[in-house]
Structure 1
Amino acid sequence: METQELHRGRLIDHIQLVVRDLPASQAFYSAIFEVLGVPMGGTAEDYFWADELFVSTSKSAAAQGHLTGRHHLAFQAQDEAMVQAFYKAALAHGGKDNGAPGERPYHPGYYAAFVLDPDGNNIEAVFHGKAQRNAPSVKITF
């Protein structure tokens, strides 16, 4: 029998977005990640990355010459104030409103804001309420 530990929020290993305007995207994501407490990992002429998000130009070798389609990415926030700060930073750095901060009907305590990034991706910051803040990791046995 093998036991693997799955950590909440770690289903995805990484995501790559291929964008038209790298400086605009870098300004947008740098601003929202600052308020979400996510440090930028690194930059180069044709890409930047933070945590599991890799953003590049279509000329980057990893992109193979193609832009990615429209995506919805949701980033975890520590509280409602962080969701509000995310929304303000996003709008101040090239984002467009796609749903002001507020509680959503998805489950009790789901508080989120939605913005469109410079390439039209739907970017969300979500706080799942106090009951979800300290949810434990899950162990699965095979």
Structure 2
Amino acid sequence: MARVVGIDHLVIRVSNYERSKAFYGRLFEFLGFEVSDEYADAIGWTNGKTRFWIGQAETGARRKYRIGDVGFHHYAFQLRSRKDVDALQAFLEAQGVTIVDPAGEYYDDYYAVFFLDPDGMKLEGMKYGERLAQAARRKAAARRARPARR
């Protein structure tokens, strides 16, 4: 049986290649990605683990994406910390990007910000499990600090 070991890359089609290339270029620079390859009508970025590509949509297919359309609902970038989520939101606000759901707790120990690309595709920066991991580290440190019983 074949087994998936990860998601190699995602490719999305955009209505205005140059506008989206500029948007994603700034976003990915902020997120620590570098250009992996570039062609006349497509560009890909990578951080060494994840790859994300954009390419020009076919002529006539230039309407904006609408949330609720068939296809991806959103794409989430897993960040290192809640502070990184807050930093991403500040960056997005400075860039004039549309924030649809501001940085906050959306599920138990799930902290995220949701925003739109130039075509209206929903993207997310998120951190899951930070409070749980901190509590586990505190508990382990407390166990190590206790004197041994005889």
TM-score w.r.t. length of structure 1:
0.69
Within a 5 Å distance, the mapping from 1:45-124 to structure 2 comes to 45-51=40-46, 52-59=51-58, 66=61, 69-70=65-66, 71=72, 72-93=74-95, 95-105=97-107, 108-124=108-124
Matched residue type, 1:103 = E
Percentage of identical aligned residues: 30
Partner of 1:125: 125
Change (3 A) 1:124 1:54: same
Q: How many residues align?
A: 122
CA distance in 2, matches of 1:132, 1:53: 28
- How far apart are residue 77 of structure 1 and its match? 0.6
TM-score w.r.t. length of structure 2:
0.66
CA offsets 1:63-91 (integer angstroms, 9 cap, x no match): x9756955310011111121122223334
Question: Does 1:29 find its partner at 2:24?
Answer: yes
**RMSD between aligned residues:** 2.8
Structure 1: unaligned runs, 5 residues or longer:
134-142
The structure whose Rg is larger is 2
Structure having the higher helix fraction is: 2
Partner of 1:40: 35
Runs of 4 or more consecutive aligned structure 1 residues displaced over 4 Å after TM superposition: 2-5, 64-70
Matched residue type, 1:114 = F
Change (3 A) 1:5 1:118: closer
CA distance in 1, matches of 2:43, 2:88: 19
CA distance in 2, matches of 1:110, 1:26: 29
Change (3 A) 1:111 1:48: same
Structure 2: unaligned runs, 5 residues or longer:
67-71, 135-150
Of the two structures, which has the highest relative contact order with CA contacts closer than 8 Å and spacing of 6 or more? Answer: 1
